[in-house]
Amino acid sequence: MIEIFDSKEQSIAQLTQTNTAETSDYAQVVQEIIDTVRQNGDAALIDYSAKFDQAIVTELKVTDAEIEAALAQVNPDFLKVLETAKNNIAEFHEKQVSQGFMMTRKGAVMGQRVIPLAKVGIYVPGGTAAYPSTVLMNAVPAKIAGVKKIVLVTPPLQDGSVNPAILAAAKVAGVDEIYRVGGAQAVAALAYGTESVPKVDKIVGPGNIYVAAAKRLVYGKVDIDMIAGPSDVLIVADETANPVTLAADMLAQAEHDINAQAILVTTNRDIAEKTAVEVERQTALLPRKAIIEQSLANNGKIILVSSLEEAIAAANEVAPEHLELCVAEPFAWLDQVENAGSVFLGHNTPEVLGDYLAGPNHTLPTEGTARFYSPLSVDDFVKHSQYLYYGEAAMRAAADDVILFAETEGLGGHANSIRLRKGE
């Protein structure tokens, strides 16, 4: 049974410490994979697919015929759900679009331009579960931003094919090219390019520890969204919460993988004890029971606190990827939340609504990085460029101030650059 802890006995930092690996632990082996891909290109990708995925791959790029065949295999009702989700995600992310600006000051003109990235690579996990939702959450904002080419990589199945649901989601989202390659080797291919896979400007999307380590190592050669670790949820619950649904929400998180973290923080001992019973009961009924049990053993906890103020303070300290406020008046507490990737308000808003359909992005900062990272957004797929124009009169008006600044910093060449324009 999942353990119940009292915050009076241990600090929140101690109670919520995770048992997960660091990307630095994998840096050497991942760097070797990156170097091999840089040297051997497509051949390395095919060899690694056989080694790591036990997959027979002869052609890396997924053909249009394969995509059409996948659409025929997918449940037509699911295709409708994909369209609904895409529309909801688009509606939300269209609100994020930012505009450039121009301003004038005494004969000077200056401004900022918002420019879409040319090429973006999206990593979509395969492994123990496939995520067509990840395709939508990454590709839709990229399309809204105006990215010229969206390239998707995803691990192949053992027969060399790609999960049909992923291909269907890619078609719905407007992905331009798809390649059957996963792992650190896929990140290397996107960062440096191979004979088949184009080099991109930015890599986004979640993956396992090897993918995360590879993204860290290629950062600087290309941009990345974030270093995503295991997924996590923290649920704040008062006496009005339902232990059945609290347990269900914890298990929905725990089934991701054995390193996922599911934490309940509650003010009510009865809620804590009944939720613990429900966790055990529901776990036995779920298909990913073995993963859930290991996840809960590693990182699952129920924590008793004395007040909702203490619960919110705990949430801010943990900075969870997902924060559920299963309390009577959730909006009354929202402004006190400082650190959370995405907040789910009330008893009828489980995190899974955000995972799939609602519209806000599900690519979120993990492992406490919500203290300084933000959810994936349209802003991740654009860059900003500044411009500046001074007419002669404006330049002369500013010249003495610039010269004084430059000479104070000991940069005579800088001072000369404007002094000569004054005719001195």
Whole-number pLDDT of residue 166 = 96
Domains and CATH numbers, the chain: 4-20+230-359 (3.40.50.1980), 23-97+116-224 (3.40.50.1980), 391-422 (no CATH)
Catalytically annotated residue among 93, 255, 322, 362: 322
Q: How far apart are CA 324 and CA 235, in angstroms?
A: 5
pLDDT one-digit tens code per residue, 99-140: 999 999 999 999 999 999 999 999 999 855 689 999 999 999
Whole-number pLDDT of residue 19 = 63
Residue type, 424: E
**Cα-atom radius of gyration of the chain, to the nearest Å?**
25
Sheet holding 101-105, edge to edge: 101-105, 108-116, 382-390
Feature table: binding site: 123, 185, 208, 231, 253, 256, 322, 355, 409, 414
Q: How far apart are CA 223 and CA 205, in angstroms?
A: 12
Residue type, 340: A
Reported pTM: 0.92
Feature table: binding site for Zn(2+): 253, 256, 355, 414
8 A C-beta contact, residue 127 and residue 155: yes
Feature table: binding site for NAD(+): 123, 185, 208
Catalytically annotated residue among 321, 324, 351, 367: 321
Whole-number pLDDT of residue 20 = 65
Q: How far apart are CA 159 and CA 306, in angstroms?
A: 55
Question: Nearest CA to 282 among 267, 271, 296?
Answer: 296
Does 384 qualify as catalytic in the annotation? no
Whole-number pLDDT of residue 260 = 92
Whole-number pLDDT of residue 129 = 65
Does 280 qualify as catalytic in the annotation? no
8 A C-beta contact, residue 33 and residue 215: no
SS3 sequence of the chain: CCCEEECCCCCHHHHCCCCCCCHHHHHHHHHHHHHHHHHHCHHHHHHHHHHHCCCCCCCCECCHHHHHHHHHHCCHHHHHHHHHHHHHHHHHHHCCCCCCEEEEECCEEEEEEEEECCEEEEECCCCCCCCHHHHHHHHHHHHHHCCCEEEEEECCCCCCCCCHHHHHHHHHHCCCEEEECCHHHHHHHHHHCCCCCCCCCEEECCCCHHHHHHHHHHECCEEECCCCCCCEEEEEECCCCCHHHHHHHHHHHHCCCCCCEEEEEECCHHHHHHHHHHHHHHHCCCCCHHHHHHHHHHHCEEEECCCHHHHHHHHHHHCCCEEEEECCCCHHHHCCCCCCCEEEECCCCCHHHHHHCCCCCCCCCCCCHHHCCCCCCHHHHEEEEEEEEECHHHHHHHHHHHHHHHHHCCCHHHHHHHHHHHCC
Per residue of the chain (424 residues), give pLDDT as tens: 798 998 877 778 777 877 666 778 889 999 999 999 999 999 999 999 999 999 989 999 999 999 999 999 999 999 999 999 999 999 999 999 999 999 999 999 999 999 999 999 999 998 556 899 999 999 999 999 999 999 999 999 999 999 999 999 999 999 999 999 999 999 999 999 999 999 999 999 998 889 999 999 999 999 999 988 889 999 999 999 999 999 999 999 999 889 899 999 999 999 999 999 999 999 999 999 999 999 999 999 999 999 999 999 999 999 999 999 999 999 999 999 999 999 999 999 999 999 999 999 999 999 999 999 999 999 999 999 999 999 999 999 999 999 999 999 999 999 999 999 988 7
pLDDT one-digit tens code per residue, 369-390: 999 999 999 999 999 999 999 9
